[in-house]
Amino acid sequence: MSRFWNSRTRALSPYMPGEQPQNRACIKLNTNENPYPPSPRVMEAIARAAGGAGGCGERLRLYPDPACRELREAVAERWGLKMEQVFAGNGSDEVLAFAFAAFFETGSPIAGGVVSADGFVTRREAAVLFPDITYSFYPVYARLWGVPYECPRLQDDFSIDYTSFLAPCGGVVFPNPNAPTGMAMSREHVLAIARYHAARGVAVIVDEAYVDFAGAADGASRACGADPLSVIDSIEDHPNLLVVRTLSKSASLAGLRAGFAVGNEELVEGLCRVRDSFNSYPVDRLALAGAAAAVRDAAYYEETTRKIIATRERVSAALVEKGYTALPSSANFLFIRHPALTGAEFFTRLREAGILVRHFNTERAADFVRVSIGTDADMDVFLAVCAKEML
């Protein structure tokens, strides 16, 4: 603790991202990065965006478009939306942070109620709801913005009980598929949550970071586009529904930092008000061009996503056959449990074998590790180590 920090900074418990080792001798399966490169069109678009004769980057001396039109137009075209229904940001994490600031009220939880920022005591119904096992950035955002929250418990099989979100509250946010479990909620249940809260003026945020992997290995998924699980096509009928997407996962652009949200114009305007009170140029020129090109190259990403889904299903079946527990996943990772070792022990054994995975030392999740889906070659090595750990 520093004497120069204010009380807000002292109270923060920052998010801890997965390890990014400089020594790439290991097999890296810990941060859900895509094992395949981005579309060739992405690199071409980035080169054009840099501009200048001979690729000298002359355009980089200019600020990027603060309205992020290139990416928003690509998203609107892809999903049949108006550009005014699309917001772009520096990765979906930034978009989510802005959403917490724009739509959820601040306050301090106390016994029997919540103290709002202006000193009034309100009912506990002001708390924002997200699952007890979910993306660990949500409580970080809540503490950063002073948003009271409660965490409905996942069911014993780690699925989300959608009825636990049908209660008066100050907002709802959850990933679909959920992270780190990889388990998905049906469209019908997602929309039931949105409908319940619409009349109350409460925002429902659906984080679809992994939704492109919810299809089948036979090609039923639609990377960077509509698929049977996504609710992007429902925003017209659900004015309180905000859908957040990232280009880091299915589009292979984790290093580029671009994400977007779609919702009605009022929600997008709220995000813009927060953004323009923070940073009017959140997405750089190269990221805008590369992300827009990725959104437009659906065919390329459908193929890479199909391969990841096929690998996931093969690895999951092999693990179960060996005696492991593997939760049914609709994402580009698996949440697995060793039959004899604790999660921490299994994590250490894999690390000693040169394989990085993610371990969350939290209640009910501590015996599991999350394993990103790599190339078939990487996953064959992983399976070989898992087989050895059963001896």
The structure tokens listed for 81 are: 């939306």
The structure tokens listed for 218 are: 């036979």
CB contact at 8 A, 234 and 241: yes
Whole-angstrom distance, CA of residue 267 vs CA of residue 99 = 9
Query: Strand 333-337 to strand 368-372: parallel, antiparallel, or no bridges (unpaired)?
Result: antiparallel
CB contact at 8 A, 121 and 291: no
| pLDDT for the residue 221 | 44
Residue pLDDT, tens place only, 356-368 = 999 998 889 999 9
Q: What is the mean pLDDT of the chain?
A: 90
At 389, is the pLDDT very low, low, confident or very high (cuts 50, 70, 90)? confident
Residue pLDDT, tens place only, 305-340 = 999 999 999 999 999 999 999 999 999 999 999 999
| pLDDT for the residue 121 | 40
Which position has the higher pLDDT, 146 or 14?
Answer: 146
| pLDDT for the residue 111 | 42
| pLDDT for the residue 107 | 77
At 223, is the pLDDT very low, low, confident or very high (cuts 50, 70, 90)? very low
At 56, is the pLDDT very low, low, confident or very high (cuts 50, 70, 90)? low
Lowest mean pLDDT among 115-124, 146-155, 211-220, 284-293: 115-124
The residue to which tokens 């009034």 are assigned: 120
Whole-angstrom distance, CA of residue 261 vs CA of residue 249 = 15
CB contact at 8 A, 226 and 212: no
Query: Would residue 354 be called left, alpha or beta, if left means φ above 0 and alpha means ψ between -120 and 50 degrees?
Result: left
* Domains in the chain: ranges and CATH: 26-35+301-389 (3.90.1150.10), 44-298 (3.40.640.10)
Whole-angstrom distance, CA of residue 198 vs CA of residue 99 = 17
| pLDDT for the residue 1 | 85
Length of the chain: 391
| pLDDT for the residue 246 | 98
CB contact at 8 A, 183 and 328: yes
| pLDDT for the residue 23 | 65
Which range has the top average pLDDT, 8-22, 50-64, 233-247?
A: 233-247
| pLDDT for the residue 330 | 97
At 225, is the pLDDT very low, low, confident or very high (cuts 50, 70, 90)? very low
Q: What is the largest CA-CA distance in the chain?
A: 66
pLDDT exceeds 60 at position 120: no
Radius of gyration of the chain (CA): 21
DSSP collapsed to 3 states, 227-294:
CCCCCHHHHHHCCCEEEEEECCCCCCCCCCCCEEEECCHHHHHHHHHHHCCCCCCCCCHHHHHHHHHH
Give me the percent of the chain exceeding a pLDDT of 70: 90
The residue-averaged pLDDT of 70-96 equals 97
The structure tokens listed for 268 are: 């997008």
pLDDT exceeds 60 at position 119: no
pLDDT exceeds 70 at position 69: yes
Residue 115 CB burial class (10 angstroms; 0-12, 13-18, ≥19): middle
Residue 112 CB burial class (10 angstroms; 0-12, 13-18, ≥19): exposed
The structure tokens listed for 49 are: 């965006």
